[in-house]
Amino acid sequence: MSEPNPRLPGQPHIARLGDTLHVEQVSLQTLAREHGTPLFVYSKQWMLDALAAYQRGFEGRNALICYAMKANSSLGILRVFAQAGCGFDIVSGGELARVLAVGAEPAKIIFSGVGKTRAEMRQALDADIGCFNVESEEELDVLNEVAVAAGRRAPVSIRINPNVDPKTHPYISTGLKGNKFGIAHDRALHAYQHAASLPGLKVVGIDCHIGSQITEASPYLDALERVLDLVQAIEEAGIPLHHIDFGGGLGIDYNGDTPPAADDLWQQLLARIDARGFGQRKLIIEPGRSLVGNAGVCVTEVLYTKPGEDKNFCIVDAAMNDLPRPAMYQAYHRIEQLSARHGDAAKTYDVVGPVCESGDWIGRDRVLDVRAGDLLAVLSAGAYCMSMASNYNTRNRAAEVLVSGSSATLIRRRETLEDQMRNELAGD
């Protein structure tokens, strides 16, 4: 086998062996032939390397890394992080069931989200999870009622909205006063005093999460100072806090983005924490995208090329139901040909899917030399793609494969029409 050419920028697990793209040591073309397209392929080593950066940052500290599983909730991905000793940040009863199915330790599970139902609260109490991140004062009262009825005390951390701009897309900003998440900074002490007075609750920590795809350290540093001010005020009021949860949100490189490395970021944050006298406190973080985003590739087949007066279109078999980020966030994903041609027939295309929406596009203004039947790799597809996939236009969700070295394991079979319609009733 020939030596790999230089690896793709920001994608150390992807290289061309000969003239064909590989994830680790496995040919994407071979996987596409075996499993069909669209197909999601993930590098296990990339995920473990991303996790190792956080582990280095917290070496010697009392810290818990909880994977924010909304980024990608496939069981095969969850098992990788469970076996690596991670906890999990969940936002629904369904996510709780998934992490328990792969052997997650209940004490390492954090339940976030603004709309927990009573049934979900009881489910989490029965599982004996580590903490509820409570996001409103009414939620405190409801959780207290559920816990008292169950004869339990629910461990709680209150999510604080610090009103810090994360400098990211407005749809994934969560720490500004106009966002739905958390309790306002100036209401925090009152909320903690109320929580401490309720018999079904046990206050154990404080939580803050300001957004997603953050590419600068400054928003974290600003939020950190506001949270530590609150920790001091809350404890001066006689309410001890066992842990401080700083959430996640660290971005990845989609298109020349330059987020700080996880270990570098946490060296900066820990220096501030130490300077404020909180260095011995238990720390919890909840990374998601930064652990899986660049580990994933979506392989898609070119169905047609269609010249137009204003645009050339490359129509592929992946669509907005498979890769929703461009339609939802106008997000950029790099697109590479699996086998590059060396002629001079390259054109500028909009890469689009077959869904009946003008918003169904994967990439705009991409220079490609393609024909029907060629395969493309949509990069950085490990986060918020498969977990947000849908059956719009009655399209089956894709298969998923996990690669480790030279081995490839199918972790999700391609959905069938029978799967889609199994629970539907046509009526009379």
The domain spans of the chain are: 14-43+293-421, 112-287
Confidence at residue 342, expressed as pLDDT on a 0 to 100 scale: 64
CA-nearest of 45, 76, 58, 71 to 288 is: 71
Summarised one tens digit per residue, pLDDT across range 354-376 is: 999 999 999 999 999 999 999 99
**What helix, strand, coil percent values describe the chain, rounded to 5?**
35, 25, 40
How many degrees, rounded to 5, is the angle at CA 50 between CA 296 and CA 265? 130
**Residue 129, SS3 per DSSP:** coil
- CATH fold, domain 112-287, is TIM Barrel (3.20.20)
Q: Identify the band that residue 198 occupies on the pLDDT scale cut at 50, 70 and 90.
A: very high
Q: Could you give the maximum distance between any two Cα atoms of the chain, in Å?
A: 73
Q: In this predicted structure, what is the pLDDT of residue 329? A: 87
Residue 4 confidence (pLDDT) above 50: no
Q: What does the DSSP 8-state code read for residue 254? A: S
Q: Report CA-CA distances (Å) from 303 to 20, 351, 354, 370, 373.
A: 20, 11, 9, 10, 6
What b/e readout covers 265-286, taking b as 16+ CB neighbours within 10 angstroms?
bbebbbeebeeeebeebebbbb
User: In this predicted model, what pLDDT tens digit does every residue of 267-276 receive, in sequence order?
Assistant: 999 999 999 9
Per-residue confidence band for 32, with pLDDT thresholds at 50, 70 and 90: very high
Q: How far is it, in rounded angstroms, from Cα 306 to Cα 308?
A: 7
pTM for the structure as a whole: 0.93
Pairing of strands 313-316, 361-368: unpaired
Evaluate if residue 300 carries a pLDDT over 80.
Answer: yes
Report the pLDDT averaged over residues 79-95. Answer: 98
Judge whether residue 176 has pLDDT over 50. Answer: no
From the candidates 131, 298, 356, 385, give the one annotated as an active-site residue: 356
Q: How far apart are the first and last CA of the chain?
A: 61
Assigned superfamily of 14-43+293-421:
Lyase, Ornithine Decarboxylase; Chain A, domain 1 (2.40.37.10)
Going by C-alpha positions, the residue among 34, 106, 112, 30 that lies closest to residue 71 is 112
The CA-atom distances, in angstroms, between 31 and each of 37, 49, 73, 412 are 9, 23, 22, 13
pLDDT higher than 80, residue 3:
no
Q: Is 356 a catalytic residue?
A: yes
